[in-house]
Amino acid sequence: MASSLESLNRWVEEVARLTEPAEIHWCNGSDGEYRLLTEKMLASGDLHALNPDTHPGCTLHRSNPTDVARVEHLTYICTRNRDDAGPNNHWMAPAEAHAKVDHLFAGCMRGRTMYVVPYCMGPIDSPISRCGVEITDSPYVVANMRIMTRMGAAALSRIERDGGFVKGLHSIGELDPDRRFIMHFPEELSIKSIGSGYGGNALLGKKCHALRIGSWQARSEGWLAEHMLIVGIENPQGEIRYVAAAFPSACGKTNLAMLIPPESYRKAGWKVWTVGDDICWMKPGADGRLWAINPEAGYFGVAPGTDTTTNPNALDMIQHDTIYTNVGVTADNQPWWEGLSEGRPATDWQGRDYDPANGPAAHPNARFTVSARQCPSWSEHAEAAQGVPISAIIFGGRRPSLVPLVFEAKDWTHGVLVGAAMGSETTAAATGAVGVLRRDSMAMKPFCGYNFADYFSHWLSFDKPGAKLPKIFHVNWFRKNAEGRFLWPGFGENLRVLEWILGRCAGSAGARETPIGFVPDAGDLNLDELDLPSVAKRELLAVDAKAWRGEIAAIGEYLDGFGERMPERLKREQRHIADALEMAPLATARAASG
8-state DSSP, 213: I
Residue 217 near residue 283, CB atoms below 8 Å: no
8-state DSSP, 211: I
Q: Which of 11, 226, 239 is nearest to 135 (CA)?
A: 11
Q: Say how many residues make up the chain.
A: 594
CA distance 285 to 561: 34
Annotation says 251 is catalytic: yes
Indicate which residue of 251, 280, 375, 448 is catalytic: 251
What is the residue-wise DSSP string for 562-586?
TGGGS-HHHHHHHHHHHHHHHHS-T
Sign (positive or negative) of CA dihedral 391, 208, 456, 188: negative
Residue 258 near residue 313, CB atoms below 8 Å: yes
Phi, psi (deg, nearest 5) at residue 279: -130, 140
CA distance 152 to 132: 11
CA distance 362 to 360: 5
Q: Where are the alpha helices (DSSP H) in 178-262?
A: 199-202, 214-221, 253-257
Listed in sequence order, the residues at least 6 apart from 104 whose beta carbon sits closer than 8 Å to its beta carbon are 173, 179, 181, 194, 195
Phi, psi (deg, nearest 5) at residue 416: -65, -40
Buried b (16+ CB within 10 A) or exposed e, 526-544: beeeeebeeebbbbbbbbb
> What is the three-state SS of 287-334?
CCCEEEECCCCEEEEECCCCCCCCCHHHHHHCCCCCEEECCEEECCCC
Listed in sequence order, the residues at least 6 apart from 148 whose beta carbon sits closer than 8 Å to its beta carbon are 203, 205, 206, 296, 297, 298, 300, 369
**Other beta carbons less than 10 A from residue 593's beta carbon:** 14
Listed in sequence order, the residues at least 6 apart from 219 whose beta carbon sits closer than 8 Å to its beta carbon are 450, 454, 455, 458
CA angle 439, 440, 444 (to 5 degrees): 165
Q: How far is CA 234 from the centre of its chain?
A: 23
Annotated catalytic sites, by residue? 251
